[in-house]
Structure 1
Amino acid sequence: MSDGMVKILNGNTFVVSDVRGDIEASPSDPTGLFSFDTRFLSKWVLTVNGDRLMSLSADDLQYYEARFFLVPGVGSVYVNATLSVIRQRSVGNGFHEEVAILNHDDAPVDLTVRIEADSDFADLFEVKDTLQKKGSYARQAGEGSLLLKYRRDTYERSTAISSSEPCSFDEDGLTFSITIGPHETWTTGLDVAIEMLGQQIGEPEQEIEGAPRSLADQVKRPIPDMARNLAGWLDEAPQLECDWETLLGTYRRSLIDLAALRFSPMTAGSHSLPAAGLPWFMTMFGRDSIFTSLQALPFTSELAATTLRELGLRQGTRIDDFRDEDPGRILHEMRYGEMTAFEERPHSPYFGTADATPLYVVLLDEYERWTGDRELVLELEYEARAALHWIDAYADLQGNGYISYRRRNAETGLENQCWKDSWDSISYRDGTLPGFPRATCELQGYAYDAKVRGARLAREVWNDPDYAAELEKQAADLKRRFNHDFWVADGEYFAIALDADGRQVDSLTSNNGHLLWSGIVDESKAKTVAAHLLGDRLFTGWGIRTLAEGESRYNPIGYHNGTIWPFDNSFIAWGLRRYGFKDEAAVVAAGILEASRYFDGRLPEAFGGYPRSMTKYPVQYPTACSPQAWSTGAPLLFLRTMLGLEPLGDHLVVDPALPTSIGRLELLDIPGRWGLIDAFGRGRVDTSRVTGPR
């Protein structure tokens, strides 16, 4: 792994270890066995005769499974190792590990094999912020297992460790005293099982579907057949054939990573939605889950359906300043750990995002357009209407008809409640930061799109033409005002925001592309906006920067101030396509997809915004999540955009505009209300000016 860590995951559970397979977590280190925001194992160190092992290689066989090849020895020099060790680990409800020790010598060998084990049961927020625990620990070593426990009032977490081979358990781990004959192999199976007791705030009291009732059951519970599950997932996805090997590899990697990031909330049973990313964000995020579901809709609709139901289930119902909650508001983030349970963090759920609520309506409409599933639209009519009501009744903080945000929880709430949510992402040309409330431009685009789409649903599904007409009237008024108030006349682009005084926050940003996607841009302004997006200040050849070169806060490795985000570019390309800029959309897609081959097909959360003429390879951003859901979904949306896939009633329109580098492309068995349809195209858009040779 590029960061020296090996990560394997399975839905709600993941393990991060070093290349030896060992876990030795420091207080702020995101290594360990995690599930539902708790670290259930913070130490897992294998020694042979008291010595640590040396890594030969580490293979991530699948997203849920890894294999480690090791030998005794320290440093970089060892001669004629007569022992080798293979660890194979699979994540399930905890993890299962097979340890095999091979004796390559002609003589038998006596060994003491030791696993040091411990758990700090840290909340993920405690790991990030290096905070101290407030509960008590207990250890119980028996003949057949080691039980690690944590308790704080009624909140309990437990980890149980067992072995298939005889061993001696103590409070710090387990020890095997073994003899391996000449050219023989010794193996043992190790099981680490987890249990959560104590009801989580914000979750209904119900048993998790399929969850065992005790730790004893969990220890004996087999790992699910993940190989069959993954094979089924890949078989059900549309099949891609094309001449460009890079795209084939990236497409497969995206499908596998999307499978890996499937997260099942406690109320969803076996259904799943996209978690945001590993390691910090393996949970439900309103914005991230919605964007990823939109990207994946032409390939799988299950994620969108679960996202809509689960976000609707937790939709805001009251005014709650601690959680930034309003009636109708869609959550930002849901957490299940100790700090949330004791209201030391507001994430049960936390609602501090201004974009998830209109985007919820956008996803509901897009889902119906693809699937024809009117039952879900009827089922979620109340939630959609409440979301639309929130836009006008609660989000207009300044009384000017625009969505704006200002956190009400000053201690733990987010300052910027848009997708560019770092503290310095919204700035004037001169680099100064505006006060609050802030009305960022893309929020208005999302609101416009939500009203237009809500009107369609009201007219065609909810049988409420009067409501549809009112939403259309509101959308037209919003579009007219927006194109006047946000337009920077001396630069001919849209300001990133309006400040508390209604003054334009006038830096040039990638947000303009989201405006094209939403449809709020006047046709007369679209060509100039597209020219900015593909101009040298924003477009690098690899992709479109978040902030234009020349702006005071521009930094090619600034989180939201000059880096390139694949997710951002995928929606920009969709927006370009919406306004008829098919070739420009293909150029953006080609740049990002070219970059993907330097990341082994796995696009990171973000990468450096340096000009392509300056870098042979895209520059890695050091703390980017990987895998990350909406980066995983970006190649899928690029495929939709390049092929021009657009639902039209019970038909699917195909209008390809592909880069020449792709050559021939076939996407077979695209699912939707039409059944299964194939799409074909041939690369005819010359992007060599910006993307260079393959």
Structure 2
Amino acid sequence: METTVKTHDGTGATSAPPAPAELQPFLHDACITLCAPGMAVSRADGQISEGPDGFYHGDRRALSMLVAFAEDVPNAPISGGPDSADRASFRTVLRGLAEHSPDPAVTLERRRTVEPGELRETITLHNAGLTSVPIRLTLRAASDFAPLEAVKSGRPVPDSAPRIETDGLAWSDGELTARLVCAPAPDAAVHGPAEAAELRYSVELGPGERWQTELRCTVDDSKGAAFSPAAPAARAALSSGAALRTADRGLDHWFARSCEDLGSLLLADPLEPADTFLAAGAPWFLTLFGRDSVWAARMLLPLGTGLAAGTLRTLARRQGGKSDPATEEQPGKILHEIRRDGLEFGDGLSVPPCYYGTVDATPLWVTLLHDAWRWGMPPEDVELLLPHAESALKWMDEYGDADGDGFLEYVDSTGRGLANQGWKDSGDAVRRRDGTLAQPPVALCEVQAYAHEAALCAAELLRAFSRPGADRWEEWAQRLKLRFRERFWVEDADGPYPAIALGRDKKPLDALTSNIGHLLGTGLLDEEESRLVAGRLAGPDLDCGFGLRTLAAGSGGFSPLGYHIGTVWPHDTAIAVHGLVRDGHHDVARSLSAGLVRASASFDGRLPELFAGHGTGTDTRPAPYPAACRPQAWSAASAVTVLQAALGLSADAPAGRLTVQPRMAAGYLPLRASGLRLGEREFEVTVDAGGTARVTGLPEGVATVEQAEEAQAAQGGEES
């Protein structure tokens, strides 16, 4: 049943009944403009008016409303959206004003810019008509200082009482103070509905004239956000010079948009502002996440090692040093996330401001250190972090394997934290094929792969820097590999495959999931096992045509809109693509990559955290997951992983070698990728339409280039 309600612009409109309280708000039709730790969330028409909308500073909402409308005329939005990561613009027609034909004449334009702790808007009225018109412009604003988790949970928070000032408004809760200043100052400022306030202008606009007011909202924070804004130069340098031109304009657009978004997600460590890292995503996860920040930095290594170094050091400063059941901190453990005030989700679920409830961030940190060294991170910087790597290895051996069965596992020790502590951390993510949920402790398949790879990577680092323990960790990895083969493999009518996990009874949880893609390229599988996994990933129950479903279609509990039980996560698919290429399964990697590129076009190049897994069998474009973050760091970084896979890039900077094997490049040729880096040297890779690859910018003898399949086929034809 529909009802007619009074909208914020004073006009009558038809809408559905209001949604029940305390439902997670949707974001799929929101416009997010950000420069971490600041962000603005609005409707597509620019109005900050409902649900998750607001101007945020860190984990608090400084403005819960900022709407602009002309009184007594229909306000008809006609365009709006982001112009770049930190800028957006919107245009509304003020219908009936100065119109002498069916053509619109008077418009209201908003141009928005977000900086750390600051929102700026320019509001312009333009009369393209032939007569003068009076316009009564109203700006309605409110602030509730709501914690982010309250917004995410849909819990209403009452607005704060505004203080009316000569040039605007101010609000304070004793910790944060938000000020909204207008220039020119409004003609009148009054209290509006509820705790909102209104700033009013009376404008006489002649033919062809424009009128503007500048709005500036700033936030003063006596406590301080958990992390500092990155310097503008650091944001600009993150992907400086990186450019991609291929035969696939969708890939090009995804790559360019991703590089731009990644700079807007950059934050700095207040303990050492030169060290930067990527916040996980906006709006819900605009902070340091161990797993997410490590994966994003690892994916971006072909663009340079500076981000990886900053991420490694930021996490190392906070590496666990004691056993604390309340935070799940343990010696050597890498944290899960840091928040300003901790999170209270209701129903007994809460996490402290610094929370260590993750099983995979620690081995992933070790592997990032190794990979950054291979891509040219200065040896002296690597060496300083080796004691932290040794502590992480000790955690893997002693704390990660708490029951001594030889596998890394997790269990929420607090009773209030995350029940699942791998990257699929929702409560229903880990299950059997029949839908039965896992009971802790849980040993995830991909975590064993991370641990295996971390042990081998650590052994290589320890030898290179003449530190003891390399043989021990190679033997440790070999034992883990044998145990995994004995315990994790299950079989169905289509043959063998790895289970998602072992449960409390140490028996396999036999759901077929995308997790198995993370095993590839880690050395955990032999050649035949890798072939079996690649075949499963290629099947239509996992590959939906836009990427990998998190849970195979037809499994118990499968839902195309289930957070970890049927949706597609771009980073998840990109990790599988990278592993497929490392293990030589180029055809499957090519198909999955093409799916991600197709999906990116439906999201204007800004791939969200996740999207629906219905697939190309039913949909011509992927449906959004309505509450997904967008942008999300590892989704954006996935564009670089797809490029790396297409070029077959692998680096060994200590040995002065770069390998290019563009066996997955078909469909993207000709291709030119510039702004890539090996250590301090920038280089470029081109592959022509015939598949001939070249590297420029590196000293002679550094790059080893194999030709793409097209060039190899042509050469074979000439020889025959």
Q: Secondary structure at the match of 1:617?
A: coil
Q: Hey, what does 1:481 align to over in structure 2?
A: 483
Render the CA deviation track for 1:315-337: whole Å, top value 9, x for unaligned.
22222222222122111111114
Cα deviation, residue 584, structure 1: 2.7
Q: Is the 8 A contact 1:110 1:180 kept in 2?
A: yes
Is 1:6 the counterpart of 2:31 in the alignment? yes
Q: Is the 8 A contact 1:11 1:264 kept in 2?
A: no
Cα deviation, residue 132, structure 1: 6.4
Q: Is the 8 A contact 1:431 1:551 kept in 2?
A: yes
Greater shift after overlay, 536-545 or 115-124? 536-545
Match of 1:60 among 49, 63, 82: 82
Q: Secondary structure at the match of 1:633?
A: helix
Match of 1:313 among 301, 314, 317: 317
Percent identical: 34
Rounded to whole Å, the distance in 1 between the matches of 2:129 and 2:528 is 79
User: How high is the TM-score relative to the length of structure 1?
Assistant: 0.87
Cα deviation, residue 400, structure 1: 0.4
Give the direction of change, closer, same or farther, for the CA distance of 1:263–1:451 in structure 2 (3 Å limit): same
Q: Hey, what does 1:496 align to over in structure 2?
A: 500
Q: Is the 8 A contact 2:127 2:207 kept in 1?
A: yes
Q: Secondary structure at the match of 1:269?
A: strand
Render the CA deviation track for 1:93-129: whole Å, top value 9, x for unaligned.
3111111112344444444332221110000011123
Cα deviation, residue 640, structure 1: 0.7
Rounded to whole Å, the distance in 2 between the matches of 1:178 and 1:611 is 52
Q: Hey, what does 2:177 align to over in structure 1?
A: 158
Q: Is the 8 A contact 1:50 1:114 kept in 2?
A: no
Is 1:452 the counterpart of 2:476 in the alignment? no
Is 1:352 the counterpart of 2:357 in the alignment? yes
Q: Secondary structure at the match of 1:362?
A: helix
Q: Hey, what does 2:223 align to over in structure 1?
A: 198
Is 1:37 the counterpart of 2:56 in the alignment? no
Give the direction of change, closer, same or farther, for the CA distance of 1:662–1:498 in structure 2 (3 Å limit): same
Amino acid at match of 1:536: P
Q: Hey, what does 1:121 align to over in structure 2?
A: 145
The alignment's C-alpha RMSD in Å is 2.8
Q: Is the 8 A contact 1:650 1:673 kept in 2?
A: no
Amino acid at match of 2:91: F
Cα deviation, residue 675, structure 1: 1.8
Q: Secondary structure at the match of 1:386?
A: helix
Give the direction of change, closer, same or farther, for the CA distance of 1:70–1:387 in structure 2 (3 Å limit): same
Amino acid at match of 1:117: A
Q: Is the 8 A contact 2:91 2:109 kept in 1?
A: yes
Rounded to whole Å, the distance in 2 between the matches of 1:192 and 1:636 is 35
Q: Hey, what does 1:99 align to over in structure 2?
A: 123
Give the direction of change, closer, same or farther, for the CA distance of 1:369–1:133 in structure 2 (3 Å limit): same
Greater shift after overlay, 89-98 or 343-352? 343-352
Rounded to whole Å, the distance in 2 between the matches of 1:685 and 1:594 is 23
Give the direction of change, closer, same or farther, for the CA distance of 1:38–1:459 in structure 2 (3 Å limit): same
Rounded to whole Å, the distance in 2 between the matches of 1:542 and 1:48 is 43
Q: Hey, what does 1:72 align to over in structure 2?
A: 94
Cα deviation, residue 298, structure 1: 0.3
Q: How does 1:99-498 map to 2 (within 5 A)?
A: 99-131=123-155, 137=160, 139-151=162-174, 156-167=175-186, 168-170=188-190, 172-198=197-223, 235-237=240-242, 239-269=243-273, 271-337=275-341, 345-411=350-416, 413-461=417-465, 463-464=466-467, 466-488=468-490, 491-498=495-502
Rounded to whole Å, the distance in 2 between the matches of 1:283 and 1:441 is 27
Rounded to whole Å, the distance in 2 between the matches of 1:611 and 1:522 is 31
Rounded to whole Å, the distance in 1 between the matches of 2:247 and 2:319 is 45
Give the direction of change, closer, same or farther, for the CA distance of 1:654–1:625 in structure 2 (3 Å limit): same
Count of aligned positions: 650
Q: Secondary structure at the match of 1:662?
A: coil
Is 1:562 the counterpart of 2:566 in the alignment? yes
Rounded to whole Å, the distance in 2 between the matches of 1:290 and 1:31 is 29
Is 1:20 the counterpart of 2:45 in the alignment? yes
Render the CA deviation track for 1:576-634: whole Å, top value 9, x for unaligned.
12222233322322222233223322223223333534433334333332222111111
Q: Hey, what does 1:217 align to over in structure 2?
A: none
Cα deviation, residue 268, structure 1: 4.6
Amino acid at match of 1:652: L
Q: Is the 8 A contact 2:648 2:664 kept in 1?
A: no
Q: Hey, what does 1:581 align to over in structure 2?
A: 585
Match of 1:638 among 630, 639, 642: 642
Q: Hey, what does 2:21 align to over in structure 1?
A: none
Q: Is the 8 A contact 2:433 2:555 kept in 1?
A: yes
Greater shift after overlay, 138-147 or 514-523? 138-147
Give the direction of change, closer, same or farther, for the CA distance of 1:106–1:548 in structure 2 (3 Å limit): closer
Give the direction of change, closer, same or farther, for the CA distance of 1:328–1:143 in structure 2 (3 Å limit): same
Give the direction of change, closer, same or farther, for the CA distance of 1:661–1:209 in structure 2 (3 Å limit): closer
Cα deviation, residue 82, structure 1: 4.7
Rounded to whole Å, the distance in 1 between the matches of 2:544 and 2:29 is 29
Amino acid at match of 2:685: A
Q: Secondary structure at the match of 1:601?
A: coil
User: How high is the TM-score relative to the length of structure 2?
Assistant: 0.84
Q: Hey, what does 1:214 align to over in structure 2?
A: none
